[in-house]
């Protein structure tokens, strides 16, 4: 095969791979399993906390013991309605729970309660930044299975997760690139977090994605044979797995080989997909309506009640931020991707002085704050730097107490110590110098020590002005007021130019 093995760079295809790939079209469909933030499981009263001792959160119902009856979690249904309304799906007045038959050690009943031919919501979709619309086929309720834990010589089964409520969100096969798949998933996770129906935590498995991929020639009308990649738990790995699988299938087609319909796993260390098992068809699961559960009837009154309390969605919030705070839609989109970050931004804006515009606040949060957040893996819900401290730092700039350069030094100290910015400024003696006589004397000395550059500047090389500013700020260690530095520097250079003219 011509496809590179091992740690293939899937974001920057080689010049040979790009034209090869342009002769084919990938058809991608995504199935997301989103765990709901309910206190109890979908059909019993067992708690849903992550990280409990194995098999601690179990009861006869989720263990599938004889003679028990499931009872549907009302809150889970309301959460499902929230998502359907948020993505414009059509809520069906009547839906039916079905039994999906398969036999794994972590499925104690020997079947999974889900919805099949009559899901509670159909249609809807999510728009991407470039206008691409990712259409949904359906959203349905489903209980989670348990978890197998494999050791060297033995495997264990933990059933704490068995019965936890999930929403399965299924797209149409309308995605054609890894990038669109990644953006769709990020936007979907942002929505469920804004709605507060799920924490969307990929690491803990509360937001999992399966990917169906087939490849066809760009002029072919029939879809190719599809393969499914399961249990992908990071956005980066999802995009890499899709890119690898696209190239793998292209190689097989070009080599005249048959693509086998199968379920795959992605190995991040090797950067490749690997066969897990042959792919089941719906008929293999022998779906039939669960006789222990009545049809789910969602009344118009219930829908209206949920709609009335629906949270502001990321797209609407981004548009509001852009209009109200006069920031770019791109910045607004970044600020509203996480609900807690959006609230943090608005709180800082409310606390800063009028001299600090929302755009300045946005720039600081999207650069300094997010850089530290990503590097140190902060929790947005427990900010290391509070909105009050962030506002206090920016207010020190507005008052002229510190310069922008000093503010960044203070911010770094705040990250390390969580101290109040005014305390840091006082302790380290970082107060900005605004005494014009001190600044004038320092600038005069620098100009005298750099007479050659002064001559070049006066002869027309105006870019050297930045050189002088840099030298001045270096001497002052950033403590001189930048506006005064610029003003006095211009005055002194103009004086030298007048002297030069007079001598001529």
Structural tokens at position 127 = 């728009």
Is residue 227 included in any domain, yes or no?
Answer: yes
Indicate the burial class of 384 (C-beta count within 10 angstroms; 0-12, 13-18, 19 or more).
Answer: middle
Residues 181 and 295 in one domain: yes
pLDDT for 3: 46
- Tokens 């760009």 correspond to 218
Does residue 472 sit in the same domain as residue 403?
Answer: no
In the numeric block, which tokens belong to residue 350?
């409310």
pLDDT for res 281:
65
For the segment 253-282, the average pLDDT, to the nearest whole number, is 85
Q: Which helix (H) or strand (E) holds 301?
A: helix 300-308
Q: Among all chains, which residue has been given the structure tokens 């990038």?
A: 179
Rg of the chain taking only CA atoms, in angstroms = 30
Question: Is 410 found in the same domain as 290?
Answer: no
479 pLDDT above the threshold of 80: no
45 with 182, same domain: the answer is: yes
Q: Is the dihedral of CA 387, 389, 392, 394 positive or negative?
A: negative
For the chain, what percent of residues have pLDDT higher than 90? 67
Residues whose CB is less than 8 angstroms from the CB of residue 237 and which lie 6 or more positions away in sequence, other chains included: 266, 268
Residue 50 lies in a domain: yes
Q: What would the two tokens of residue 156 be? A: 């264990």
Of 428, 446, 478, the residue at which a domain comes to its end is 428
Residues spanned by the domain of 242: 17-251+282-303
pLDDT value at residue 363: 97
Is the pLDDT at 88 greater than 80? The verdict is yes
**C-alpha–C-alpha distance, residues 404 and 387, integer Å:** 18
Task: Please check whether residue 395 lies inside any domain of the structure.
Answer: yes
Same domain, 120 and 221: yes
For residue range 190-202, what is the model confidence (pLDDT) as tens digits? 999 999 999 999 9
**130: burial class by Cβ within 10 Å (0-12, 13-18, 19+)?**
exposed
Which residue, 394, 428, 462, sits at the end of a domain?
428
Average pLDDT for the chain: 90
- Domain presence at residue 118: yes
In degrees, rounded to 5, the angle at the alpha carbon of residue 355 between the alpha carbons of residues 350 and 361 is 55
Section 478-491 average pLDDT: 83
Q: Answer yes or no: are the C-beta atoms of 72 and 296 closer than 8 Å.
A: yes
Q: What is the pLDDT of residues 200-244, one digit of tens each?
A: 999 888 999 999 999 998 888 888 999 999 978 889 999 999 999
Residue 489: pLDDT band by 50, 70, 90 thresholds? confident
Asked which of 9-23, 223-237, 365-379, 470-484 is least confident by mean pLDDT, the reply is: 9-23
Alpha carbon 474 to its chain centroid, in Å, reads 39
Give mean pLDDT, residues 133-161: 94
322 in any annotated domain: yes
Q: Are 89 and 193 in contact (CB under 8 A)?
A: no
pLDDT band of residue 19 (cuts 50, 70, 90) is low
User: pTM for the complete prediction?
Assistant: 0.84
Instruction: Give strand ranges (E) for 120-195.
Output: 121-122, 125-127, 133-143, 147-150, 155-158, 165-171
> Is there a single domain that holds both residue 406 and residue 321?
yes
Note whether 416 and 441 are same-domain residues.
no
CATH of the domain at 496: 1.10.10.410
Residue 496 pLDDT exceeds 60 = yes
The token duo for 199 is: 């924490």
Q: Which of 159-168, 257-266, 411-420, 457-466 has the lowest mean pLDDT?
A: 457-466
Does residue 352 sit within a domain?
Answer: yes
Q: Contact 115/97 with Cβ under 8 angstroms?
A: yes
**Do 297 and 151 have their domain in common?**
yes
Question: Does 8 score more than 70 pLDDT?
Answer: no
**Nearest Cα to Cα of residue 219 among 473, 435, 25, 467:** 25
Alpha carbon separation from 132 to 23, 126, 319, 329 (Å, rounded): 21, 8, 18, 17
Check residue 349 and give its pLDDT: 98
Number of domains in the chain: 3
- Tell whether 404 and 377 lie within a shared domain: yes
In a domain, 309, yes or no: no
**Three-state DSSP class for residue 432:** coil
Does position 14 have pLDDT exceeding 70, yes or no? no
In this structure, what token pair is assigned to residue 81? 């309605």
Q: What pLDDT digit, counting tens, does each position of 102-126 carry? A: 888 899 999 999 999 999 999 999 9
CB atoms within 10 A of CB 8: 18
Q: Is the pLDDT of residue 356 over 70?
A: yes
Count of beta carbons in the 10 Å neighbourhood of residue 114: 19
Residue 203 and residue 80 share a domain: yes
- Stretch 370-379: mean pLDDT, rounded? 90
- Better-scored residue on pLDDT, 479 or 51: 51
Residues 291, 356, single domain; the answer is no
Q: Does 222 share its domain with 365?
A: no
Residue 466 pLDDT > 70: yes
Phi, psi (5° rounding) for residue 146?
-80, -155
Most confident of the ranges 68-82, 249-263, 431-445:
68-82
Q: Is the separation of the CB atoms in 444 and 472 below 8 Å?
A: no
Q: Which two tokens stand for residue 450?
A: 């750099």
Determine the pLDDT at residue 441: 87
Q: Give me the sign of the Cα torsion angle 159, 163, 164, 169.
A: positive
């Amino acid at each position: 095969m011509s496809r590179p093995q091992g740690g293939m760079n899937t974001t920057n295809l080689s010049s040979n791979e790009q034209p090869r790939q342009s002769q084919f079209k990938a058809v991608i469909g995504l199935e997301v399993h989103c765990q709901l933030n309910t206190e109890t499981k979908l059909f019993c009263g067992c708690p849903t906390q992550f990280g409990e001792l194995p098999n601690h959160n179990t009861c006869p119902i989720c263990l599938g013991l004889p003679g028990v009856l499931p009872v549907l979690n009302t809150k889970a249904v309301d959460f499902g309605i929230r998502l359907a309304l948020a993505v414009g799906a059509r809520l069906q007045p009547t839906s039916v729970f079905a039994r999906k038959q398969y036999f794994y050690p972590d499925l104690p009943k020997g079947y999974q309660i889900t919805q099949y031919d009559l899901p509670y919501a159909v249609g809807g979709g999510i728009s991407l930044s470039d206008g691409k619309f990712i259409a949904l086929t359906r959203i349905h309720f489903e209980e989670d299975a348990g978890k197998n834990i494999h050791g060297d010589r033995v495997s264990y089964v933990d059933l704490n997760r068995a019965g936890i409520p999930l929403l399965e969100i299924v797209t149409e096969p309308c995605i054609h690139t890894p990038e669109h798949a990644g953006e769709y998933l990020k936007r979907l996770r942002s929505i469920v977090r804004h709605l507060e129906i799920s924490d969307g935590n990929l690491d803990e498995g509360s937001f999992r994605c399966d990917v169906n991929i087939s490849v066809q020639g760009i002029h072919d009308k029939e879809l190719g044979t599809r393969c499914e990649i399961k249990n992908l738990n990071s956005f980066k790995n999802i995009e890499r797995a899709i890119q690898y699988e696209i190239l793998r299938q292209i190689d097989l087609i070009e080599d005249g080989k048959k693509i086998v319909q199968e379920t795959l796993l992605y190995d991040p260390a090797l950067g490749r997909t690997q066969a897990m098992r042959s792919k089941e068809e719906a008929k293999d699961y022998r779906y039939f309506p669960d006789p222990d559960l009545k049809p789910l009837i969602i009344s118009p009154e219930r829908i209206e009640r949920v709609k009335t309390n629906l949270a502001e969605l990321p797209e609407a919030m981004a548009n509001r931020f852009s209009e109200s705070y006069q920031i770019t839609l791109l910045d607004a989109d970044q600020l509203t991707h996480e609900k807690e970050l959006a609230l943090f931004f608005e709180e800082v804006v409310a606390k800063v002085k009028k001299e600090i515009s929302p755009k300045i606040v946005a720039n600081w949060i999207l650069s300094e704050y997010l850089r530290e957040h990503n590097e140190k893996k902060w929790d947005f819900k427990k900010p290391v730097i509070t909105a009050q401290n962030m506002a206090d730092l920016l207010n020190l700039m507005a008052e002229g107490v510190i310069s922008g350069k000093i503010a960044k030094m203070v911010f770094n100290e705040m990250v390390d110590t969580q101290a109040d910015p005014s305390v840091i400024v006082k302790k380290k003696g970082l107060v900005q110098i605004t005494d014009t006589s001190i600044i004038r004397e320092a600038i005069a000395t620098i100009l005298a020590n750099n007479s050659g550059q002064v001559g070049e500047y006066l002869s027309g090389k105006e870019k050297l002005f930045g050189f002088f500013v840099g030298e001045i700020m270096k001497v002052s260690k950033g403590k001189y007021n930048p506006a005064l530095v610029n003003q006095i520097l211009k005055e002194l250079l103009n004086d030298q130019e007048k002297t030069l003219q007079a001598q001529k």
